[in-house]
Amino acid sequence: MSGNYDIGLMGLAVMGQNLVLNMVDHGYKVAVFNRTTSKVDEFMAMSECKSKGDNIVGTHSLKELVAQLKRPRLVMLMIQSKDAVPAPDIALYPKIAAIDAVIEELIPLLEPGDVIIDGGNTHYLDTERRTKFIEDKGLLFIGTGVSGGEEGARKGPSIMPGGTEKAWELVKPIFQAISAKVGPKNDISCCEWVGARGAGHYVKMIHNGIEYGDMQLICEAYWLLKHALGYSNEQIQKTFADWNKGELDSYLIDITKDIFTVKDKATAQYLVDLILDTAGAKGTGKWMSQLALDLGTPSSLVTEAVYARCISAMKDERVRASKVLKGVSSNAKLPADFVEQIRKALYASKICSYAQGYVQMQAAAKEYDWKLNFGDIAMLWRGGCIIRAVFLDRIKEAFDADANLENLLLNPYFQNVVESAQGAWRNVVKTAIDFGIAVPAFSTALSYYDSYRSAVLPANLLQAQRDYFGAHTYHRIDKPGEGPFHTDWINERQ
Ligand code: NAP
């Protein structure tokens, strides 16, 4: 038996609900289900839902959901990616992920050619594994990143699908219809096929890691405006508003500008000043950083951004330390154009952050044999998602000009921006040091730039140390192609 609904969606929390409404707005008929079935009834009773008539049907079991669908069936899961549930064989597997439990239940209800879609923030290795597992059952699998939060899901998210390539043609019309659109004619979809198996979720993870870097850089700029320049919230708001008109034009700068306009009704104080300075994280930034270490690619901005959240969370300890450890009081004179210097430092650092993210994706693509199109990826992020920004057009142009570009910093546009920003960038980092203001993201970006542009680094000494204590050997610049060499450093001492 088959029904006449185009797609089924399980998971009626904020993302699922909004995606359903978005799909219906684009002419698709959607069947919905949620583990806690009362939420299905609550959703169906919402006026926005009722206004869609029979384009949405509520169901109370996976079996009912599947029965409502056209063949081949498309079942999308928008459920918590991390939650673990008791496994059927408790002795062997004490816990399995919620998504695996749902997939196990779904498989017997489906037929060859049907598609399971995971739209959650899943670790790419789980998606690699699930693609194979589901394909072995004769079904197709899509593991897709979806970015843009509640508003994106409702009005047009950025969608980054990977998995079974054969499934792409089946989900493409719906995904491209509901995704954000960009370009002069608003006809470039922020949804394209990313690559096999876990590629979509890997790219979504890089998106989130870059988001961490962008947010940290903006916070450091804010802190310099506030504590080096002594700016009021009104001045900070105006500065971000100005920055949003130029190269830094982006969603995150835009919302930051808005944040500095909001006052708490009860106290009439700016709300931002009343918010406790301890940041949380859901883990995708940490994944990117861990995986960069595994690949040996230096994604230092996301790592510093994760650490910045970790140290922010040590609030009580920081308060105790602040009473013991003294900083410096600076009377350094700031240049008249210091605000513009911060802007340039922010843009140059942001470019380094994206350069690192792209290098990590290139290394991962090689490792996992994914055929990633890096220009297309920039366009996936151009609209709908949290890191959407005008400058992504420049990244697209850079990869269009050279699909094998080793590093964004080597593209003439980015090279020119970073080179011409570097006087300001160096002064901003020096000033922060003078004032005792922590700028881990600005400074790691500059160190990355200085390391990357150095033909020679002090790793010669490092190799000598390793050879001294561990006989790890080394190669010689005067004997290329020979070696490795080892020296008995103790007996050679003079
Ligand atoms: P969420 O809070 O991450 O998850 C809640 C949903 O998961 C509910 O429908 C819940 O059902 C279901 N669920 C939890 N455990 C389950 C289990 N063991 N079996 C079946 N269903 C289970 O919801 P969300 O924020 O809408 O996010 C959905 C997915 O999208 C997540 O993977 C999230 O990481 C990802 N995502 C979220 C955002 C965002 O901005 N929120 C952005 C991009 C991607 P019950 O009602 O029965 O508890």
Q: Among the atoms of ligand 1, which is closest to the Cα of residue 35?
A: 47
Q: Cα(18) to centroid of ligand 1, in Å? A: 12
User: Which of 395, 397, 374, 377 lies closest to 385, judged by CA?
Assistant: 377
Show the tokens assigned to 23.
Answer: 């799909």
Q: Cα(100) to centroid of ligand 1, in Å? A: 14
Catalytic residue among 128, 192, 211, 304, which?
211
- Does 78 contact ligand 1 (Cβ within 6 A)? yes
- Does 207 contact ligand 1 (Cβ within 6 A)? no
- Does 12 contact ligand 1 (Cβ within 6 A)? yes
The reported pLDDT for the residue numbered 332 is 80
Residue type, 321: A
- Does 38 contact ligand 1 (Cβ within 6 A)? no
Q: Cα(81) to centroid of ligand 1, in Å? A: 7
- Does 98 contact ligand 1 (Cβ within 6 A)? yes
Please determine, for residue 420, whether its predicted confidence score (pLDDT) is greater than 80: yes
Q: Cα(366) to centroid of ligand 1, in Å? A: 32
Catalytic residue among 29, 39, 204, 257, which?
204
Is residue 181 among the annotated active site residues? no
- Does 85 contact ligand 1 (Cβ within 6 A)? yes
Is residue 340 among the annotated active site residues? no
- Cβ neighbours for 226, distance < 8 A, ≥ 6 positions apart: 236
Please determine, for residue 87, whether its predicted confidence score (pLDDT) is greater than 60: no
The reported pLDDT for the residue numbered 83 is 64
Q: Cα(123) to centroid of ligand 1, in Å? A: 15
CA count, 13 A, side-chain hemisphere, 165: 5
Show the tokens assigned to 180.
Answer: 């954000």
The reported pLDDT for the residue numbered 188 is 93
Whose Cα sits closest to atom 12 in ligand 1? 79
- Does 102 contact ligand 1 (Cβ within 6 A)? yes
Q: What is the pLDDT confidence band of residue 88, given thresholds at 50, 70 and 90?
A: low
- Does 147 contact ligand 1 (Cβ within 6 A)? yes
d(CA 68, CA 361): 39
Exposed / middle / buried, residue 325 (Cβ in 10 Å: 0-12, 13-18, 19+): exposed
d(CA 67, CA 85): 26
Mean of pLDDT values over 11-18: 98
Mean of pLDDT values over 133-147: 97
Q: Cα(379) to centroid of ligand 1, in Å? A: 26
The answer to whether 182 and 190 are in contact (CB under 8 A) is yes
Q: What is the pLDDT confidence band of residue 282, given thresholds at 50, 70 and 90?
A: confident
The model's pLDDT over 325-350, given as tens digits with 9 standing for 90+, comes to: 999 888 888 999 999 999 999 999 99
- Does 11 contact ligand 1 (Cβ within 6 A)? yes
Mean of pLDDT values over 340-362: 98
Q: Among the atoms of ligand 1, which is closest to the Cα of residue 83?
A: 15
Whose Cα sits closest to atom 30 in ligand 1? 120
Q: Cα(71) to centroid of ligand 1, in Å? A: 26
Point out the least confidently predicted range of 88-92, 133-137, 455-459: 88-92
The reported pLDDT for the residue numbered 328 is 87
The model's pLDDT over 452-481, given as tens digits with 9 standing for 90+, comes to: 999 999 999 999 999 999 999 999 999 999
Whose Cα sits closest to atom 43 in ligand 1? 147
